[in-house]
Amino acid sequence: MAAPADCSEAALAAALADVPELGRLLEVDPYLKPFAQDFQRRYKRFTQTLNDIGENEDGIDKFSRGYESFGIHRCADGGLYCKEWAPGAEGVFLTGDFNDWNPFSYPYKKLDYGKWELYIPPNQNKSLVPHGSKLKVVIRSKSGEILYRISPWAKYVAREGDNVNYDWIHWDPEHPYKLKHSRPKKPRGVRIYESHVGISSHEGKIASYKHFTCNVLPRIKDLGYNCIQMMAVMEHAYYASFGYQITSFFAASSRYGTPEELKELVDTAHSMGITVLLDVVHSHASKNSEDGLNMFDGTDSCYFHSGPRGNHDLWDSRLFAYSSWEVLRFLLSNIRWWLEEYGFDGFRFDGITSMLYHHHGMGHGFSGDYHEYFGLQVDEDALTYLMLANHLVHTLYPDSITIAEDVSGMPALCCPISQGGCGFDYRLAMAIPDKWIQLLKEFKDEDWNMGNIVHTLTNRRYLEKCIAYAESHDQALVGDKTLAFWLMDAEMYTNMSVLTPFTPVIDRGIQLHKMIRLITHALGGEGYLNFMGNEFGHPEWLDFPRKGNNESYHYARRQFHLTDDDLLRYKFLNNFDRDMNKLEERFGWLSAPQAYVSEKHEDNKVITFERADLLFIFNFHPSKSYTDYRVGTKSPGKFKIVLDSDAAEYGGHQRLDHSTDFFSEAFEHNERPHSLLVYIPSRVALILQNVDLPN
């Protein structure tokens, strides 16, 4: 009867021997011990793939430079070298402006492993294919069909006029933009401004990289954000997909401008000390074949799984075959391309729940039972790819940041690979915005549960960092509502003028908007994210031009001019967001250990906690203010107000005297050795600093 236990102990010992730091992971979370063999297998697959790349490709450094040989490249003699991977093709040709679109005059030579190459000599020392030329790869399929395709490695594609499909345009400028500024150091506490270039103007049109550089970057800097997460940059044919149906993975979207203008945007952000992340979509790809990856070589299995496994039914898109050697080359090279060519500082990996599990998370609710994260339902090919991607990013640039968008809560996702983890720096705390929406939709203010709010904000895996957010782009989309809209709705159109008295709805909305954001910022994670415009309570949802709205741009814009209007109340929320971020910069609560929560009082609706030597006090009660409210603290000393949501500049009611000094006394309260008495008005958030402590 003892044999199984002995075997289990032997298996655990073997796993600990194979995975260098697995013991540290299991020490932090002993409940993972039964799954030690899963971590062992994952780590072995990662190291084996890395070793195979080393033996067959001279290492991941060379392997991840696929963009230097695949696609089209100008040679030193002025000629062109062309290379593609099309294992299902019978013949491959290059055509375009340069040969009057003759489909067969420039055939590729077939190489091993499904690769094809072509050299086009120069014409009088000049390239036969000048910058700006239109091109196509011509594929003769095994069935004899002639297919016109865009190279998967195309660096620039554009759509002219009313054309449905994109054209591949050879991008080889005589004077390419050179990045001038060094990358910023990794922020100790990351404050992310989630951004979309196309909607960054208040005008009803697609805004440009130039517009964003000149008009939005200064706003981001002024607001105190130190990181931008750029959405919808990888080229996508359908604008309303929000950038999540990628057609050309190496092309920066031409609808906003040129590749050189995107480089200038990133470089300018770096000059301001701002880190720039790319929203990278490697979880799936557009079904487009004319201007996408699908059916590139005439088969459904070139870059994707063949048959049903290669289709995502919910997203109506194609799924990569992550175990394929050339798919690994393509995706890892894509990661490196954005780092090297454009100077991005890391990535937010979209939709990785779909990658991690064969069921893609569809129709599957995650309860937190550890058995859900291991076993046959896990796609370990995709998991190995994510480990390789994180290894590559952090090897190339140790200050890079990677963020995982995962709704499942897979353990060790943000633990080092050496522990058997996946190697991400952060995961998105996706339960937090859902909690705020639920409270606003389903509960009266007096019925909010303080303990449940605190639990949602603090319920995260120890030593795995989270990006907290009250709302992201998901909550801004048509069909949903932003927090500002849930709070104030139609009155935002009529009662946001400072010339009119506060209505109960607007007053409640402005006060709670600030409190929700501050408690999320201070208690919810080790990083913070805000979607552009939501910081000032953007009054409308987001809806891209489509047939259903007569192709209107009215809601596909961010109305920054509203916060610049001194007669509107949006400025108050903007001011608060700015000062909240700048206070975090000063005190560093995001990089401090998780807060100590001393009170979550259900009747009083009061939450108090300490983090980064600051004392945070929230009174969520809709009507009750408290005089001489006792608040516990760990330290003796004199306290002063450093942030007060009730201040005039934040649209508050100015009920607190900022010249007041609060002195703690050696009176134990809520299991804290000291305490002080504070006046806490209703619907107010306060931050107190102990000025006797070293800053």
The residues annotated with a catalytic role in the active site are: 350, 405
Residues 242, 309: Cα–Cα separation, whole Å: 25
Residues 195, 582: Cα–Cα separation, whole Å: 20
Q: Where does residue 695 rank: exposed (0-12), middle (13-18), buried (19+ CB within 10 A)?
A: exposed
For residue 88, give the amino acid letter: G
Name the region of 423 (left: φ>0; alpha: ψ -120 to 50; beta: rest): left
Q: What are phi and psi of 81, to 5 degrees?
A: -110, 130
**DSSP helix/strand/coil, 602:** coil
Would you say 97 and 313 are in contact if contact means Cβ atoms under 8 Å apart? no
Q: Is the dihedral of CA 357, 363, 367, 372 positive or negative?
A: negative
Beta pairing, strands 234-236 & 246-252: antiparallel
Q: Collect all residues with Cβ–Cβ distance below 8 Å to 574 and sequence separation of at least 6.
A: 223, 535, 536, 563
Q: Which of 61, 116, 48 is nearest to 335 (CA)?
A: 61
**What distance lies between CA 388 and its chain's CA centroid?**
19
Q: Collect all residues with Cβ–Cβ distance below 8 Å to 673 and sequence separation of at least 6.
A: 634, 666
Beta bridge partners of 478: 480
**What distance lies between CA 273 and its chain's CA centroid?**
19
Residue corresponding to tokens 């949602």: 456
Q: Which of 97, 389, 106, 157 is nearest to 292 (CA)?
A: 157
Q: Is the dihedral of CA 190, 194, 200, 206 positive or negative?
A: positive
Angle between helices 450-458 and 504-523 (to 10 degrees): 40
DSSP symbols for 490-557 = GGGGTS-BTTSPPPHHHHHHHHHHHHHHHHHHHHS-SEEEEETTGGGT-SS-B----GGGTT--TTSS
DSSP symbols for 196-260 = EGGG-SSSSS---HHHIIIIIHHHHHHHT--EEEEES-EEES-GGGTT-SEEEEEEE-GGG--HH
Quickly count: other Cβ atoms within 10 Å of residue 694's Cβ.
5
Beta pairing, strands 317-318 & 89-96: unpaired
**Which structure tokens are listed for 679?**
């006046």
Q: Where are the alpha helices (DSSP H) in 58-205?
A: 60-63
Scored b (16 or more CB within 10 A) or e, 654-676 reads: eebeeeeebebeeeebbebebbb
Side-chain-side CA neighbours of 691 within 13 Å: the count stands at: 9
Residues 547, 133: Cα–Cα separation, whole Å: 32
Residues 77, 74: Cα–Cα separation, whole Å: 8
Quickly count: other Cβ atoms within 10 Å of residue 623's Cβ.
9
> Dihedral (C-alpha) 546, 313, 304, 401: value to the nearest 10 degrees?
70
